[in-house]
Homo-oligomer: A and B are copies of this chain.
Amino acid sequence: MLTLRPILSALRSIALISFTVGTTFLSASAFAEDVTASNPNPAKNVILIIGDGMDDHQITIARNYLKGAAGRLTLDDMPVRSSVAVLTVSEQAPDEYIYVADSACSGTSMSTGQATSRARIATTAKSDIDIETIVEMAHKSGFKTGIVSTSSVTDATPAVFASHIQYRFCENPEKMVTERFSCPQDLKANGGPGSISEQLAVSNVDVIFGGGMENFTPTVEGGSTSVLDSAIANGFTILKTKQDLNNVTTAGKVLGLFADKHLATKLRGEDGRIAEKPEPSLLNSVHWSLGEVDLPEPMTCETNPDAADTPSLLSMSSKAIELLSTDNDKGFFLMIESASIDKQSHARNPCGSIGELDQLDETVAYALKFADQHPGTLILVTADHAQAAQLVPESSMFSGLDIPVYSPGSMVRIITPEGGLMGVNYATNDFFAEEHTGAAVPLYANDVAIGKIDTYISQTDIFDIAKQHLGL
């Protein structure tokens, strides 16, 4: 296999040697080397930023809107870019592949290095064995750890880093046995660790920020106090508001739950509009080539008023980085998720996804700046799986034929700030939530990763890359 690795390893050695024999390299742009020189063993940090459902369509849609077709996201300027296979196995036959993932199994690949079946949280397919996560391993080795998400902190992506359960929807003690799903063997009564929120409450994670307060208010299984009380008893300081987040400076463990459910998105469609079905004329029902079609009226994106009291992903992430890096010579592992790129694609709301990708991109910019000042910091940015949204012509490429050609699904025509008209199609089903899709997803990394990541890897390799960086 052709790879940059040996060449760049050689380069890194050469660069280090060059540095030790002279100081003329030192300049403003060599700030990172300067820091390294004064501190040859900087703290080793990994910041893994996951855009849930952030595939190439979502990225292009967001870029067109946020920066223009010829513009660049912060992501686009990262020096390492790879493509990542998303591997899912069958629950019944774990040696067989399923070609489309959910966030539980794809997150488990990244948090544990092992592919599993859909809906599983850091447990093996069929055999249901708990798999140690990178967060647990990092903690054991003395690193601080953090989990930040715009979803409920009990949602699949944050959950796979610090809990182990058969079924992702067993989020709190009241959801362990339901009509539609259940996790009987994870019940405490059966010797299990309890629901996801119960596991997070007793975890050793230093910083947990997101939504999902509703999963911490139920009473713990077999007890008389709430899951939140259990977290407090376990040493967590609880934050509930933007103000709490701004003010916190504690060196102890912090659990920030800033909404009952998921955090509100930054953007929404004009007047709350989402994708709509094209409306063909009656004549078109006689034959596909007859009549006309009304496509959805063009619209803009607007600020979501529901998000006024919601901390941004950037504010949660920068606070997490501050708390994890202060007085910490060893280093930290931090997972940051922009969760609703996916959720808003399920809901056919491209403006929602665009705003959440914007939140991710500005968080990436912050993380890169932190890494510039803390040269032991590896930044990885990726997606867990691809999503349904497709960037399509705003009116059919065949509309010149004077035949009503239109999506059988739902679509939006977004007026972009640069004055263009962008079509987004949602047509994997007509249910209230679109399907995930199975394309490989992108991985971006900062200069620390140059020469260390091949151009095509598996999602399980992300665990190995992080582990190797921290020396676990």
Identify the A interface with B (CB < 8 A): 1-4, 7-8, 10-11, 14-15, 55-57, 59-60, 63-64, 68-70, 72, 75-83, 85, 87, 96-100, 102, 118, 180, 288, 386, 388, 390-394, 396-398, 401, 403, 405-409, 418-423, 425, 427-431, 433, 435-440, 442, 444, 446-447, 450, 455-456, 458
Contacts and interface: CB of A to CB of B under 8 A. Distances in A.
Contact of A450 (B7, B63, B430): B7
Contacts of A14: 11, 14
Given A83-B56, A429-B396, A455 B99 contact: no
Contact of A99 (B7, B15, B69): B69
Given A55-B56, A455-B76, A435 B96 contact: no
A180 B398 CA distance: 12
Contacts of A390: 388, 390, 428, 437, 439
B57 A288 contact: no
Contacts of A56: 55-56, 83, 386, 439-440
Given A69-B87, A409-B427, A96 B420 contact: yes
Contacts of A420: 96-99
A374 B438 CA distance: 37
* Copy count, this protein chain: 2
A407 B428 contact: yes
Contacts of A455: 76-81, 444
Nearest to A372: B2
B57 A423 contact: no
A288 B277 CA distance: 15
A2 B427 CA distance: 37
